[in-house]
């Protein structure tokens, strides 16, 4: 695994500022990975939530992790820089769930430099991740905001999760982790999921150990087409809806 240091991230940020004062964003190639995170999309998400009268008043949040455009864009840029240097080994997918539900919602990705443990990276950005999840899924997750569970999976493993690969196990994170408050925001990043064109959102059903409860779907040798991925997502979402109906 490539070693990526805090110093290298700082150097990259300085070079970026010298060139253009902004970092272009390239969407991920997969149909079910993180969507484009342009500021206009974030503005729209926040505006919609304000119209829905969502309130996020709770315990004090560190200034650099408050849910505002400056912090959101900085952590997204950090994510892109870390992944560009360190690759997927320093990236983890983020899923959030209501503690009383078996549905795990895909809400984005985190990255961290090589000397920062995953647990500290998530804990450092917990308030931002949790609020983003609640804004992303106001009906399913907002009611349990401030008590939501955050789980992680291997980086860029959405397709394997969709196929219910048994080797993919989610790991539940802790909100309070020793040393997390000392982590500098430049050493970690978060790229939150956003929906486009009325997407339903990627979700999966897991047990209390983070394992798939549905049998594995046999994957073809070739990479699935966009149409096949769409059909797969429709099947998975219908299974989730059916399970939720049964549990009611």
Q: What is the pLDDT of residues 12-63, one digit of tens each?
A: 454 443 333 333 333 333 333 333 344 556 565 655 555 567 899 989 999 9
What's the number of CA atoms in the CB half-sphere (13 Å) around residue 180?
A: 18
Integer Cα distance of 101 and 139 in angstroms: 13
Report the first-to-last Cα separation within the chain, whole angstroms: 45
- Over pLDDT 90: what percentage of the chain? 63
Q: What is the pLDDT of residue 33?
A: 36
Strand 203-205 with 171-172, pairing: unpaired
Contacts of 180 (CB under 8 A, 6+ apart): 119, 120, 123, 124
CA distances from 106 to 70, 96, 133, 158, 212 (A): 23, 7, 9, 9, 14
Residue among 127, 132, 121 nearest 188 (CA) = 121
Facing residues of 172 across strands? 151
pLDDT > 80? residue 111? yes
Q: Tokens 């895909």 belong to which residue?
A: 106
Integer Cα distance of 155 and 112 in angstroms: 12
Q: What mean pLDDT is predicted for residues 1-9?
A: 50
Q: Hey, is 59 helix, strand or coil? A: coil
- Dig out the tokens for 199 from the structure: 């997407």
Q: What is the pLDDT of residue 241?
A: 63
CA distances from 15 to 27, 69, 129, 244 (A): 22, 22, 28, 49
- The tens digit of pLDDT for each residue in 140-187 reads 999 999 999 999 999 999 999 999 999 999 999 999 999 999 999 999
Q: Hey, is 38 helix, strand or coil? A: coil
Integer Cα distance of 129 and 73 in angstroms: 13
Q: What mean pLDDT is predicted for residues 181-198?
A: 94
């Amino acid at each position: 695994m490539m070693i990526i240091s805090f110093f290298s991230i700082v150097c990259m940020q300085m070079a970026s500022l010298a060139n253009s004062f902004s970092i272009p964003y390239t969407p991920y190639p997969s149909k079910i990975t993180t969507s484009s995170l342009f500021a206009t999309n974030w503005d729209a998400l926040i505006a919609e939530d304000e119209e829905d009268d969502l309130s996020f008043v709770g315990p004090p949040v560190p200034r650099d992790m408050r849910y505002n455009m400056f912090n959101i864009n900085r952590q997204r840029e950090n994510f892109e820089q870390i992944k560009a240097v360190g690759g997927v080994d320093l990236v983890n997918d983020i899923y959030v769930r209501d503690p009383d539900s078996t549905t795990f919602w895909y809400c984005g990705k985190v990255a961290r430099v090589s000397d920062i443990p995953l647990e500290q990276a998530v804990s450092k950005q917990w308030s931002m991740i949790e609020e983003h999840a609640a804004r992303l899924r106001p009906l399913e997750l907002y009611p349990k905001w401030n008590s939501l569970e955050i789980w992680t999976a291997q980086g860029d493993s959405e397709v394997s999760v969709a196929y219910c690969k048994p080797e993919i196990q989610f790991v539940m994170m802790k909100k309070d982790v020793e040393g997390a408050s000392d982590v500098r925001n430049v050493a970690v990043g978060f790229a939150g999921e956003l929906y486009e064109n009325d997407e339903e959102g990627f979700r999966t059903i897991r047990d209390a150990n983070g394992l798939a409860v549905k049998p594995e779907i046999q994957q073809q040798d070739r990479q699935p087409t966009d149409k096949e991925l769409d059909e797969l997502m429709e099947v998975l979402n219908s299974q989730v809806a059916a399970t939720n109906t049964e549990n009611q």
